[in-house]
Structure 1
């Protein structure tokens, strides 16, 4: 699934740029719905946990390792590519409201913005 850029956006250098172009406007809705902010935060934490699970010590219990709330651009790009492939296979279309995929993609956009992952 490709996320088209806005008409005035430069060509996409990364799938992350496509997610940001498509879902950045949804971040403005945080001001009107505190529950949405909580849901996006949970999705962002889940993405970080998923991407950071490979870095956890195999012989240490997870409860002893603090959750990392950072991700790398390459890892997040790979995640977006895989997630987009699954959405494309299922024929997903962006709804007016929020579903799991929309929340997850909005959380990815939030992570990109908060961690400045599009800066070169």
Structure 2
């Protein structure tokens, strides 16, 4: 996956894989207005990525059950470093499987779109 250069200054370096994902998949977010199914699929992928990156809150000894979430607390923000590591692993896997982006949406393109959405929602390219 190519990583386009970004302007110098605050934020991630041009070689940050998040920059490339955003450059490639940000236009897909515009499709949300026309495809509610896409919104739902991307939301599920974003939740899976968040769950992989953000440890679940525990109930403090009441049987070890996870506390139900009603939203993402500030302490549960996705961190740029964690998402970058996730993207590096995911894109390495895509390269190993010789994945090519389809015309429509498949698992990988939905996951990359969800990563782009997370980057935007958590403002990960400006901090």
* TM-score normalised to structure 1 length: 0.84
Distance 2:93 2:100 in 1: 12
Q: Which residue of 2 aligns with 1:48?
A: 50
Q: Which runs of 4+ in 1 moved over 3 A?
A: 55-59
Cα offset, 1:61, TM superposition: 1.5
Counterpart in 1 of 2:112? 105
Residue 10 of structure 2 is matched in structure 1 by none
Higher helix share: 1
Q: How many residues align?
A: 115
Q: Give TM-score, length-normalised by structure 2.
A: 0.80
2:65 corresponds in structure 1 to 61
Unaligned runs of 5+ in 2: 8-12
Structure 1 counterpart of 2:38: 36
Which one has the largest radius of gyration?
Answer: 2
Q: Provide the alpha-carbon RMSD of the alignment.
A: 2.1
How far apart, CA to CA, are the structure 1 residues paired with 2:26 and 2:57? 31
> Do the aligned residues in 1 keep the contact of 2:53 with 2:83 (CA within 8 Å)?
yes
Taking the aligned partners of 1:73 and 1:4, their CA distance within structure 2 comes to 16
Which consecutive unaligned segments of at least 5 residues does structure 1 have?
Answer: none
